[in-house]
């Protein structure tokens, strides 16, 4: 299998694992990027970006990365806390007074980051146009009553995570989360990573394809489906227009919990910048900030009784979890996406890693795991 890009000789095992993904996992198009100690050591891409036309995946290809978006939002929130602009343990309502309605006066940013705020889904059903307009979502959140006493339980805040923290970012900075991310991080680092895809980047967008055999949908009225579709406003896992995840209109909007678009290099650079700094620059998040983010806050069965799959959450990031999402160790922090995409950083090993693909298999499938295992072997002392 031919690929573009390169891998440092020491990290050849990652390139071999990348090739195996095409040979053994039916990969369509994909990319992997790795930084170690702030230096890029792997940057590979291969396959097809659009199955309909045969357009190849190239260096500039970007793809929807679903909940990897939560990593972008979390980096922004921790950066603002690090700079003294907000306190993760002070109520959201300090910056957003209307948020306190309905029993949310004690909800803190950390509760949202840990999926413990009691706001996994909204009672109000919003149209696609209302969601992409932003303000109607904010008003619905203000009206929403928590499903449980905030802090006492957890349930994945699939989209509300991004909208609550995104509005908090807007209240603190005067910029939408997508704007703030680009100004504070993305433009500075030259990332091909956006919350709200620019129109001129649409030609570089990979087209998602469903893998055969993916699990069927639960009941549309179930909490899990209400969470991931915002009460049916988004198609899931349906991909086609209108309102599926191949719809440029959806990807151009700011959907900060699950609507980011990125290259693997963009995500790997972000996590490398957070963990170590890139190319000699200071790290984006200090060691103390990362230590705070790594404190386990959420694990076990969810409020609705969803079984414990082994996931562990700190403040905004998945933590190393051998049963659910193994990374490199106790200092690893990241986020995954619905199609199998994954990105993480680790300041003990000095790593920023990302894998993106357009053939949607699912959370925790073998492709990213295989790459991370190969990377781990390369990092062991000779």
**Cα–Cα distance for residue pair 372/159, rounded to 1 Å:** 27
8-27: pLDDT as tens digits: 999 999 999 999 999 999 99
Q: Tell me the pLDDT tens digit for each residue of 333-361.
A: 999 998 899 999 999 999 999 999 999 98
Per-residue pLDDT averaged across 40-48, rounded?
A: 98
Residue 364: pLDDT band with limits 50, 70, 90: low
CB proximity list for 279: less than 8 A, separation 6 or greater: 38, 39
Alpha-carbon distance 128 to 131, whole Å?
5
Q: What is the pLDDT of residue 224?
A: 81
Average pLDDT rounded to a whole number, residues 294-322: 93
Q: 10 Å Cβ neighbour count for 156?
A: 23
3 state SS of 249: helix
From CA 10, how far away is CA 272, in angstroms rounded? 18
- pLDDT digit string, tens, across residues 169-224: 999 999 999 999 999 999 999 999 999 999 999 999 999 998 876 555 566 678 88
User: To 10 degrees, what angle do helices 366-379 and 12-24 make?
Assistant: 160
- Mean pLDDT for all residues in the chain: 94
Look up the pTM and report it.
Answer: 0.96
Which pLDDT score is estimated for 242?
A: 80
3-state class (DSSP) for residue 20: helix
Band of residue 237 on the pLDDT scale cut at 50, 70, 90: low
pLDDT at 212: 77
């Amino acid at each position: 299998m031919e690929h573009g890009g390169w891998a440092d000789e020491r990290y050849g095992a990652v390139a071999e694992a990348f090739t195996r993904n095409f040979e053994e996992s039916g990969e369509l198009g994909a990319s992997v990027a790795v930084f170690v100690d702030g230096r890029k050591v792997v940057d590979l891409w291969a396959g097809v970006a659009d199955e309909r036309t045969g357009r190849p995946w190239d260096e500039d290809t970007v793809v929807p990365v679903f909940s990897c978006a939560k990593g972008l939002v979390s980096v922004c929130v921790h950066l603002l806390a690090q700079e003294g602009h907000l306190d993760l343990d002070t109520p959201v309502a300090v910056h957003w007074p209307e948020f306190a309605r309905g029993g949310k006066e004690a909800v803190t940013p950390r509760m949202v980051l840990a999926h413990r705020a009691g706001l996994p889904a909204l009672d109000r059903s919003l149209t696609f146009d209302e969601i992409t307009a932003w303000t109607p979502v904010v008003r619905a959140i203000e009206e929403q009553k928590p499903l449980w006493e905030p802090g006492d339980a957890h349930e994945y805040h699939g989209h509300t995570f991004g909208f609550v923290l995104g509005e908090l970012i807007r209240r603190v900075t005067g910029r939408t989360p997508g704007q703030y991310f680009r100004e504070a991080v993305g433009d500075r680092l030259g990332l091909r990573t956006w919350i709200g895809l620019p129109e001129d980047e649409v030609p570089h967008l990979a087209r998602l394809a469903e893998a055969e055999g993916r699990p069927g949908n639960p009941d549309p009225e179930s909490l899990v489906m209400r969470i991931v579709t915002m009460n049916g406003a988004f198609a899931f896992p349906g991909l086609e227009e209108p309102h599926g995840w191949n719809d440029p209109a959806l990807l151009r909007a700011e959907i900060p919990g699950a609507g980011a678009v990125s290259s693997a290099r963009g995500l790997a650079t972000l996590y490398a910048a957070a963990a170590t700094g890139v190319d000699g620059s200071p790290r984006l998040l200090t060691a103390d900030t990362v230590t705070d983010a790594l404190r386990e806050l959420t694990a076990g069965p969810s409020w609705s009784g969803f079984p414990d799959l082994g996931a562990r959450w700190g403040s905004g990031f998945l933590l190393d979890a051998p049963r659910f999402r193994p990374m490199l160790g106790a200092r690893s922090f990241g986020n995954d996406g619905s199609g199998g995409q994954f990105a993480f950083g680790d300041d003990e090993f000095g790593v920023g890693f990302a894998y993106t693909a357009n053939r949607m298999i699912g959370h925790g499938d073998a492709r990213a795991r295989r790459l991370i295992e190969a990377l781990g072997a390369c990092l062991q002392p000779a």
